[in-house]
Amino acid sequence: NMCTFTFYMVDSYGDGWNGCLVDLQQSANGSWSTAATFGSGFTTGYSAVDSSPLCSGDSARIVINAPGNWSTEVSFDLVGPFGDTLVSHSAGASLSGYQLMGSFLASCNSCASPASVTGSSTACTTGSVAWTSGSSALSSQVDYGVATYSPSAATATTYATSAGASLSGLLPGTTYDVFVRDSCSDGWSAWSQTSLMTASGPLPTLNTAYLVTGMSPVTIEFTANASGQDSVYWTMSTGAALGGDVVTHSFSNNGPEYAVATASNSCGSVSDTVNFTVGLEELGLLNLSIYPNPSSGVFHVAFRLRDAGDVLIRIHNMVGEEIARSSHQRVTSQMDVSFDLTSMPAGVYVVEIQTQQGVRSRRIVMGR
């Protein structure tokens, strides 16, 4: 099934193409061959016409064989058997050897390929395609896949003409080739092609925190403080898996432990690891007391170290912002440190005591 494609040549100066040669190439199985070379006989005058047959359904392209001496004077149009312009070039820009000027799928029926095909995406997993069908089109088909994809009737979806289509199931940060063709009374048009690239973000964010809420066994409340997420789950060093922004888990053994928070949305996932030590004894922190609790603003943090060392006490709110701190070096005796938060809003705050062996957190409630 072959038909003729016509090549119209123009020279803006009127002295022919001065050695410019243009190849019409075709491929049925990925191997390109030259079907015709245009321009060798165009040695004088303003215009010339040539033609070549192509097999319907083959891939085809126009490639510059040789630019000649005055390539800025060169114009051409390759027109299909039913008058549709497939590849066009206007005088003005310089040409170079092996330059690809355009590609298409050869079609030998009167069904014109869709025009003005555009793809777009502002999301990570979805996109859209729009097109304008020819006047004789009865329906349209859309097919798409990761770049270098080849369309297939078996995977294409049928739409009304010029309807536009939403694309789903895409991968973040990925380029897709999108193909559209029309159906007419005498068969399908050649595919028209466009491309789009999905977004790669924004990814969720995490601002993890934890708070010891019980001692027998040691029970810890973990907060992911996630933003922009569809889901949050936690993986504990004990092997437990929990879902939610705020979770609580008990640890039966003293010593180093960890919890990993993972927040996910359609663009991907981010993770953050919380490391901590279970048990006061491992911190060398004895007789810890925070009083009064609840407090009207002034409260005390009392404790004793098993071994002499440095201590840092930090007060922060529930989103991790530091409110106050008190640093002490070479502590050897019972400590009683006072804090005045009367200028801060009522609410829940976290007292964090850091020794050289680890960090211990307790919650305090501020009322007015």
The CATH number given to whatever domain includes residue 96 is 2.60.60
| Predicted confidence (pLDDT) at residue 280 exceeds the cutoff of 60 | no
Q: 246: pLDDT confidence band, cut at 50, 70 and 90? A: very high
Q: Are residues 271 and 294 in the same domain?
A: no
In a domain, 177, yes or no: yes
Q: Are residues 228 and 294 in the same domain?
A: no
**CA angle 269–270–276, rounded 5-degree value:** 140
Query: 267, 172 in Cβ contact below 8 A?
Result: yes
127: left (phi over 0), alpha (psi -120 to 50) or beta: beta
pLDDT for residue 279? 63
Query: Rounded to an integer, what distance in angstroms lies between the CA atom of residue 224 and that of residue 262?
Result: 8
Using a CB cutoff of 8 Å and minimum separation of 24, what contacts does 25-32 make? 25/60, 25/61, 25/62, 25/63, 26/54, 26/55, 26/58, 26/59, 26/60, 26/106, 27/58, 27/59, 27/60, 28/55, 28/57, 28/58, 28/59, 32/61
Q: 273: pLDDT confidence band, cut at 50, 70 and 90? A: very high
Q: Rounded mean pLDDT of 254-278?
A: 90
Structural domain boundaries, residue 176: 115-197
Query: Rounded to an integer, what distance in angstroms lies between the CA atom of residue 351 and that of residue 347?
Result: 13
| Residues 122-147 pLDDT 10s | 999 999 999 999 888 999 999 999 99
| Predicted confidence (pLDDT) at residue 307 exceeds the cutoff of 80 | no
Q: Domains in the chain: how many in total?
A: 4
Query: Rounded to an integer, what distance in angstroms lies between the CA atom of residue 205 and that of residue 283?
Result: 30
292: left (phi over 0), alpha (psi -120 to 50) or beta: beta
Burial 86-119 (b: 16+ CB within 10 A, else e): bbebeeeeebeeebebeebbbbbbbbbbbeebeb
| Predicted confidence (pLDDT) at residue 211 exceeds the cutoff of 70 | yes
Q: Rounded mean pLDDT of 110-129?
A: 92
| Predicted confidence (pLDDT) at residue 281 exceeds the cutoff of 60 | no
Query: Which among 261, 260, 272, 278 has a CA at the least distance from the CA of 212?
Result: 278
Tokens at 76, concatenated: 């051409």
In a domain, 203, yes or no: no
| Predicted confidence (pLDDT) at residue 254 exceeds the cutoff of 80 | no
| Predicted confidence (pLDDT) at residue 162 exceeds the cutoff of 90 | yes
Q: Which residues, 6+ apart, have CB-to-CB distance to 318 below 8 Å? A: 209, 223, 347, 348, 349, 350
Q: Are residues 141 and 221 in the same domain?
A: no
| Predicted confidence (pLDDT) at residue 354 exceeds the cutoff of 70 | yes
**CATH code of 259's domain:** 2.60.40.10
Q: Are residues 290 and 267 in the same domain?
A: no
